[in-house]
Amino acid sequence: MLSVTSKDFLQIPIKEFIISAEKVAHVQLGNNAEHALLVLTKTGYSSIPVLDIKYRLQGLISAQQITDEILGMEHIEYERLPSLKVDEIMKSDVAVIHIEEKFQKGLDLLVNNPYICVIDDEQTFLGILTRRVILKQMKKYLYQSQVQ
pLDDT at residue 148, as a whole number: 58
| pLDDT, tens only, 16-42 | 999 999 999 999 999 999 999 999 999
Mean pLDDT for the stretch of residues 74-89: 94
**DSSP string of 4-20, one letter each residue:** ---HHHHTSBGGGTPEE
Is pLDDT at 138 greater than 90 in this prediction? no
Domains parsed from the chain with CATH numbers: 7-147 (3.10.580.10)
Q: Is the pLDDT of residue 67 over 80?
A: yes
pLDDT(144) > 80 = no
